[in-house]
Structure 1
Amino acid sequence: MILKNLIGTAAFVALMFIVSAFVYKNKAEESHQNLSSKNNGFAVLELFTSEGCSSCPPADALMGKIAEEYKDKPVYILAYHVDYWNHLGWKDKFSSAENSQRQQQYSSTLNSQVYTPQLVANGKKEFVGSDQNAVESAIQNALFSSNNIKIDLEAKILSKEITVNYKTAETNSQNKLLITLIEKKSSSNVAKGENEGHHLQHWQIVHQQNQISLKSTSEGTTSFPLPENFNPNDWEVIGLIQNTKSGEILGSAKVLF
């Protein structure tokens, strides 16, 4: 009350507002830091793309940018090259029917159309893969809200194959483990089709994905044929735990060679 009399009522109210705001801000920052320190979030970005689609190069380039920007964060990118645009005059050498089938599964689960470039975040939300604002927002939401089920991975290079040892505490029969062999970066000179004459860069290319049921076992070994001209620095393995009914990604991990 003495301070109020000295500086006047209006000034006193203003001063109390500033002090209250300062205290509130610090409490909010402290709360956010506590949540961040306890958070076990992750973001899985699955891009469906094609060298036969003229709308896809910007999405591919965005994945390269995201991969660099979040290289030290639990952000996992998988680029599936689909094969249904190959009839337009150019066969995408990275494409496969399995990649197209995975997108069809998401179409059914998420009640969405099949198109390129399409991006699915943590198996729960889909949007145009070249929409940078949507991608950044999805990453931030996933990192803050998701809870990562632990997956232990160990990759070994043998003479003709890559073996991956996996282990997880997850045993829900509705979940499956996906072990994916990823090429970090590659490129193509496109001679025909919608991207004719363009040199296209790609990032985080899916080459093979092995699906493992967690119904009866939560640890074991899976393998991939050793790619031609294999350089360990150019490849990685990503593991995902996914609910077979909802499509939600529940866990993720990565191992380098």
Structure 2
Amino acid sequence: MLSRAVILSALALGLAPVAAAAADRPVVVELFTSQGCSSCPPANAYLNDLARDRHDVLPLAFHVTYWDRLGWKDPFSLAAATDRQARYGSRFGDGSYTPEIVVDGVSSHVGSYRSEIGAAIDRAKGANQPAADVRLSRNAGKLQVDIGSGEGRGRVLLVGFDHYHKTDIRRGENGGRTFEELNVVRSVRPLGDWQGAALRLTEQLPEGEDAAVIVEAPDGHIVGAARL
């Protein structure tokens, strides 16, 4: 049950009360991948399908760096992606590997196991977790981030990503193949902390064609998300 103060605070910012956000926010699906990894194409194809077909999911392809020395340097690899996966690996106890998919910061899966990941997405959609309602908009050439009131706290991350890339792989395990990849992450940076009170941030647009904001609780699970 939401308190009257929480509802009024959300409405004052023009946001829906957080009870609706818990059901409506997209489930965040993070793929850790590399163009140098021969077992990654099926997982890349799955993420592409999610990006095309699922409006209730925010799929993001994080290209890691540790394959870059093995014959092909992935042009989209990011140290921030490698670091993010390493934190998940430490938490889940399974290290870093590709392809890996993390669903809503809660569970880790081999990225090509579609049925297993689909079940994890369904569980995340049904989970009754405290949530922050997140909304993004452009304002005078900048990004405005509005996060509504709610229970809990979390770290606010800004993710920039491109909608589509087609790459001819010339060397390495995938040499001679052509990759088509959607929702390729180009930048990740923290914006600050959400402490449960309504929060408004004005930021420079991130590197990438599109933007998303993720709010993750101290234990790593995601309690809020939205894309521009």
Q: What TM-score do the two structures reach when normalised by structure 1?
A: 0.73
Instruction: Tell me, yes or no, if the aligned pair for 1:208 and 1:224 is still in contact at 8 Å.
Output: no
Instruction: Tell me, yes or no, if the aligned pair for 1:89 and 1:192 is still in contact at 8 Å.
Output: yes
Go from structure 1 to structure 2 and tell me whether the alpha carbon gap of 1:213 and 1:86 turns closer, same or farther (over 3 Å shift).
Answer: same
Structure 1: unaligned runs, 5 residues or longer: 1-36, 228-234
1:62 is aligned to 46
The farther-off stretch of 125-134 and 39-48 is 39-48
1:123 paired to 2:102: no
1:51 paired to 2:25: no
Structure ID, larger Rg: 1
Q: How far did 1:146 drift?
A: 4.5
Let me know the Cα RMSD of the aligned residues. Answer: 2.4
Instruction: Tell me, yes or no, if the aligned pair for 1:210 and 1:222 is still in contact at 8 Å.
Output: no
Of residues 184, 189, 192, the one that matches 2:168 is 189
Structure 1 distance, partners of 2:80, 2:87, is: 11
Q: Deviations over 1:13-43 (max 9, x none)?
A: xxxxxxxxxxxxxxxxxxxxxxxx9961541
Q: Secondary structure of 2:69's match?
A: helix
Structure 2 distance, partners of 1:124, 1:226, is: 27
Structure 2: unaligned runs, 5 residues or longer: 1-19
Q: How far did 1:252 drift?
A: 0.9
Equivalent pairs: percent with the same residue? 29
Structure 2 distance, partners of 1:155, 1:207, is: 19
Instruction: Tell me, yes or no, if the aligned pair for 1:239 and 1:254 is still in contact at 8 Å.
Output: yes
Instruction: Tell me, yes or no, if the aligned pair for 1:173 and 1:213 is still in contact at 8 Å.
Output: no
Go from structure 1 to structure 2 and tell me whether the alpha carbon gap of 1:43 and 1:90 turns closer, same or farther (over 3 Å shift).
Answer: same
Q: Secondary structure of 2:43's match?
A: helix
Q: After TM superposition, which residue ranges in structure 1, 4 or more long, deviate above 4 angstroms?
A: 170-174
- Structure with the higher fraction of residues in helix conformation: 1
2:186 is aligned to 207
Go from structure 1 to structure 2 and tell me whether the alpha carbon gap of 1:87 and 1:153 turns closer, same or farther (over 3 Å shift).
Answer: same
Structure 2 distance, partners of 1:221, 1:80, is: 25
